[in-house]
Chain A
Amino acid sequence: MSSQLLDFEKPLIELEAKIEELKKFSKEKGIDLADEIKTLQTKSETLKKNIYGNLTPWQRISIARHPERPGVIDYIKMLFEGFMEMHGDRYYGDDPAVVGGIARFNGQPVTVIGHVKGKNTKENLARNFGMPHPEGNRKALRLMEQAEKFGRPVFSFVDTPGAYCGIGAEERGQAQTIAASLTRMMTLRVPVIPTIIGEGGSGGALAIAVGDYILMLENAVYSISTPETFASILLKDSTKAQEVAGAMKMTARDLEGFGVIDEIIAEPLGGAHKNAPEMAKTLGKSLQKALNSVKKLPPEKMLEKRYEKFRGIGQLISG
């Protein structure tokens, strides 16, 4: 169903094409090739398991960045009813890299916020590749405070290479808006359930990812920066991104090990884009379960647990 293939999928696709060819040939010529076809099909199944069952970190990054990967707007359509988008930060502008609004989730009014990447160049330019300006962070925080006022839970969906860097972003307080969000989200008196759905890069990602229960899709990645930036800073060579991707420990499993995320959500074989409705269904179930568990807690307890989750992260040696 996907039109854009990733490099590492090619052997599999070639094999599948060969099977189709044999089937066609067998039918046209009336020759029985059932055994040959069966052998190739077994081979194809094994190959599929081998490729998708042993994805390298870089291959996961490619899946996380796949242009057809479902984004927050797709999940809004598939999981939330009657979404009404809200615009603007009330200070300067409306950031198209961040979408936010109110909708119903299984009947309950909730606030939904997420980074939006484009699915093609034109959309990407319009959405600034999902990289928020200060206005995006301020809009997100405004909508979260609005949610708090009306007792609505917040679902956030992280998918950004990072906060945008540019003259305007600096002039309008990129850093300060992130800090303000981190500080305020820690005391927001409604459940906050962030999900890392694609790329989670730097402070731009974190600015909407402080919460009570943090979910992460199986092939999503989350780190201090993109591997390109990481390689550029530490190795002075951004083309070494593939080499550092593994060492950065940015996959869902790595982060679960660090205690940074609470749950990994399985993706359809080959990635969320291979079957977006199935992905949404799985995600929806986990979101409801997470919300139920957080909602049970009295607000004070919920906030204490939220703080302790982040308070506990760090690796130290004493003395």
Chain B
Amino acid sequence: MLKDLFRKPKYVTVHADTVRKDIPEGLWQKCPTCNEILYSKELEKTMKTCGKCGYHFRMGARERINATIDEGSFSELDADLVSANPLGFADYPVKIAKSQEATKLKDAIVTGEAVIDGKPVVIGVMDAGFVMGSMGSVVGEKVTRAVEKAIAKGVPLIIFSASGGARMQEGIISLMQMAKTCGALAKLNEARLLYISVVTDPTTGGVTASFATMGDIIVAEPGALIGFTGQRVIEQTIRQKLPEGFQTSEFLLDHGFIDMVVPRMQMKNTLAALLDLHTNGGTDNV
């Protein structure tokens, strides 16, 4: 089955301080599903997917943007926003600094205006390498501003999610970002503008329970982990092993929560086709 092609080994929670598996180091790396040796040059051509089995490696925000938009069309929004420390945790700023160093990002999302296949959009791309891609004040604010920008410009919005959920270190403030981003999307709905949510590995918790599942169209990459509660917590709660393939893109497709599973190599074309069907917001032919 096609599904089995994209099945990944059991998902392991990635912490910011463990080695990032999405950065190829050296000249080659091994595919974690089929053990194929993949050369960096080859991986570049296949957008970090395994040519043999279709496994999708994680991708950072910057390279994702480059792989998705028309060359040179990106103009970044709110690039300088960084989080304060609302709960006053001593090691939170340290954690942020480490992630900034490792990813060269200010926080877990990059947003901006761009053009895809000639069509203007506002795009946001999350990076799972930044404090697990968690949503605190910065992600919540940048997503909200991206929505507001899309409304102001009257263009479609595309958000690539990759997140461990709401950021624990900002406590209740992170939780409120879920309501804030959804509130902004409610305004986008009123403006009758297209929102395509692209869900990538991994997307869980507060991001799944807010903007990631609110797309007019929801697209997922093959084999991505998508869910509400992390698998370790579910297993501890119900005291049983989870079934194979639980919370994957294909599982969500089967259960009716996403529109399509699209391999990375076809993502740009798919987005372009969807945008084309919604030219002028899709409302001109009423």
Residues on A facing B (Cβ under 8 Å): 163, 165-167, 169-176, 178-180, 182-184, 186-187, 202-203, 206, 210, 222-225, 229-230, 232-234, 247-250, 254-255, 258, 260, 306-307, 310-311, 313-319
Contacts and interface: CB of A to CB of B under 8 A. Distances in A.
Nearest to B185: A183
Nearest to A201: B175
Contacts of B172: 222-224, 249-250, 254-255, 258, 260
Interface residues of B, number: 60
Given A174-B229, A260-B176, A183 B183 contact: yes
A222 B79 CA distance: 31
A224 B174 contact: yes
A35 to B, nearest CB: 49
A163 B205 CA distance: 11
Contacts, number: 178
Q: Which 6 A-B pairs have the closest CB atoms?
A: A165-B229, A314-B137, A182-B182, A315-B84, A175-B208, A175-B228
Interface string B163-191: 00010111111111111101111110110
A229 B138 contact: no
Contacts of B173: 258, 260, 313-315
B178 A314 contact: no
Contacts of A307: 183, 186-187
Contact of B214 (A166, A183, A229, A314): A183
B171 A250 contact: yes
A172 to B, nearest CB: 8
Nearest to B141: A314
Contacts of A258: 86, 172-173
Given A247-B89, A314-B173, A187 B178 contact: no
Interface of B: 80-89, 137-138, 140-141, 144, 166, 168-180, 182-187, 189-190, 205-206, 208-214, 227-229, 233-234, 237-238, 242-243, 246-247, 255-257
Contacts of A170: 227-229, 234, 246-247
A126 B254 CA distance: 30
Contacts of B137: 314-316
A172 B179 CA distance: 21
A247 B87 contact: yes
B228 A174 contact: yes
A316 B228 contact: no
A249 B234 contact: no
Contacts of B184: 311
